[in-house]
Amino acid sequence: MKSNRRSFLRLSAFALPFTKMNELFAKAPAANMPLVISTWDSGQIANGGAWPILEKGGKALDAVEQAAIAMENEINCCVGLGGNPDRDGRVTLDACIMDDKFNCGSVAFVERVKHPATLARKLMENTPHVFMAGEGAQQFAVASGMKLESGELSPDAEKAYKEWLKKAEYKPIINIEHQQSKPKGHGPFAPSHFDDGSVNHDTMGTLALDSSGNLSGMCTTSGMGFKMRGRIGDSPIIGSGLYVDNEVGAATGSGQGEEVIRVCGTHTIVELMRNGASPTEACKKTIERIVKINPEKAKSFQVGFIAIAKNGEVGAYSLQKGFNYTVTDKSGKAKVINAKSHFS
Ligand code: SD4
């Protein structure tokens, strides 16, 4: 969807002070709402959790939390307690959530909590804090009435871990897609564990625009498979794995967290949109910033971003090909779209 209003804003960028442009953004009606977008084709599961809320005129924040819950419930999928463990064989989860008023909550390195994005929301709503990790976050989960799960690996993760242990190589390369060799008998859309023990992707990011025109987002992950114990990626970091500015837009992503953190990926995307870039242009420019740091190294990992503008325009861009995302708009139908990529 091309926005004439955006072209107008671009032309007027020299004439109008920033604050004035932001006011224009804030007042523009969103043409296409409600709307929910999620990373990957497994975003069909996430959007499926969010849509019943949005369809009834519910809040974007509730919708993205339900998107996370739907993913985290998929035990043989890539996200949540069914994901791959760290090098010590333990699954540690990271998640964050952000609403339309800059309220945000993040949890990292959390074990045995099935719904880390819900925990992040509880942190956001019930404490003065934004970010909690490890044992303290787990204690907060229990104090908030959340149950601790057994901590056992899912059958798929167990198999993948045993396979990984054979070489126990620390090779943190993720998301180079396995489009041709999807294994049988795994989660419906997002196989996370391949027969050679390698992983596809393990993160879900969702952004929603509700029928009141407000934005929220979440990102939930089991992180990079077989990571060093205690390693935390971009996903729970506000401004890296997720950012929402209700005046402008929102962004989230998936991929090699270390590289996203270096450029404050999602905050960068939102700032580029503030300055007139479309969601796709903003994602592309941020990917190019990552490439510029080390063009040779950038060939060996994946990063994919998705973004939504306040007017309901959506877009995405990735480093390697194979990244896709799912959009559910007011038609109620989920559509999987292949993102354009820097390397072909
Ligand atoms: C991380 N960004 O922990 C996550 C991993 C990911 O698909 O997105 N995997 O770095």
User: Phi, psi (5° rounding) for residue 132?
Assistant: -135, 145
Amino acid at 110: V
The domain segmentation of the chain, as residue ranges, is 29-100+154-343
- Per-residue pLDDT at 172: 58
- Average the pLDDT over 189-214 and give the result: 71
Predicted confidence band of residue 194 (pLDDT cuts 50, 70, 90): very low
Which of the residue ranges 171-175, 200-204, 308-312 has the most confident prediction, judged by mean pLDDT? 308-312
- Average the pLDDT over 18-46 and give the result: 74
Q: Which residues are catalytic?
A: 203
Between the CA of 174 and the centroid of ligand 1 the distance, in Å, is 8
- Average the pLDDT over 191-209 and give the result: 68
Between the CA of 340 and the centroid of ligand 1 the distance, in Å, is 19
Tell whether the model's pLDDT for residue 272 goes beyond 60.
Answer: yes
- Per-residue pLDDT at 30: 63
Between the CA of 234 and the centroid of ligand 1 the distance, in Å, is 7
Residues 57-93: pLDDT tens digits? 999 999 999 999 999 998 766 689 999 999 999 999 9
Lowest average pLDDT, out of 75-89, 200-214, 273-287, 289-303, goes to: 75-89
- Per-residue pLDDT at 193: 45
- Average the pLDDT over 240-258 and give the result: 97
Residue 257 CA, closest ligand 1 atom number:
10
Predicted confidence band of residue 2 (pLDDT cuts 50, 70, 90): very low
Angstrom distances, CA of residue 152 to CA of 72, 75, 101: 15, 11, 38
| Most ligand 1 atoms within 8 A of CB, residue of 256, 262, 263 to mutate | 256
Report the candidate in 225, 178, 201, 222 with the shortest Cα–Cα distance to residue 304.
Answer: 201
For the domain made up of 29-100+154-343, the CATH class stated in words is: alpha beta
Lowest average pLDDT, out of 26-30, 181-185, 203-207, 300-304, goes to: 181-185
- Per-residue pLDDT at 32: 83
- Per-residue pLDDT at 87: 93
Tell whether the model's pLDDT for residue 164 goes beyond 70.
Answer: yes
Residue 200 CA, closest ligand 1 atom number:
7
- Per-residue pLDDT at 169: 82
Residue 232 CA, closest ligand 1 atom number:
3
Between CA 100 and CA 102 the distance in angstroms is: 6
- Percent of the chain whose pLDDT exceeds 90: 74
- Per-residue pLDDT at 317: 98
Between the CA of 331 and the centroid of ligand 1 the distance, in Å, is 30
Q: Whose CA is nearest to atom 3 of ligand 1?
A: 223
> What pTM was computed for the model?
0.88
Give the pocket of ligand 1 (CB within 6 Å): 174-175, 201-203, 221, 223-224, 233-235, 254-257
| Most ligand 1 atoms within 8 A of CB, residue of 203, 240, 303 to mutate | 203
Tell whether the model's pLDDT for residue 294 goes beyond 50.
Answer: yes
Between the CA of 25 and the centroid of ligand 1 the distance, in Å, is 31
Lowest average pLDDT, out of 27-31, 103-107, 206-210, goes to: 27-31
Lowest average pLDDT, out of 64-68, 176-180, 234-238, goes to: 176-180
